[in-house]
Amino acid sequence: AHRTGALGWVCLVGAWVSAVWRRLRSDVDPSPGRIAMSDVVEIGSAVRLGARRRELGVDGFESWVGETVVGRIPGARHEPE
């Protein structure tokens, strides 16, 4: 069946995000990253954590974008003045 409208976009984007995510994981059968509620300090308009994202091991996509996309932009690794 062919999906149209918003549902069609959700399915298409969801499949693409899932494929990218699986590609970034080294595990044979990856599972989503999880953050324990014990690491959550505050829930408001933003969720504040008591640990840095690198300590939690859930920043794979951000690390990949930084290295593969942003890191290749001329001047991207330049120290701020």
Q: Determine the Cα–Cα distance for residues 9 and 15; give it in Å rounded to an integer.
A: 10
Give the separation between CA 59 and CA 76, rounded to whole angstroms.
19
Res 81 pLDDT > 70: no
Q: Select from 76, 51, 56 the least CA-distant residue to 66.
A: 76
Average pLDDT over residues 59-74: 78
Question: In this predicted model, what pLDDT tens digit does every residue of 3-55 receive, in sequence order?
Answer: 666 666 667 777 777 777 777 766 666 666 788 899 999 999 998 999 887 78
The confidence score (pLDDT) of residue 43 equals: 93
Between 49 and 67, where is the model more confident? 49
Residue 29 CA to residue 81 CA, distance in Å, equals: 44
Per-residue confidence (pLDDT) for residue 41, from 0 to 100: 94
Helices (H) and strands (E) in the chain, counts: 3, 2
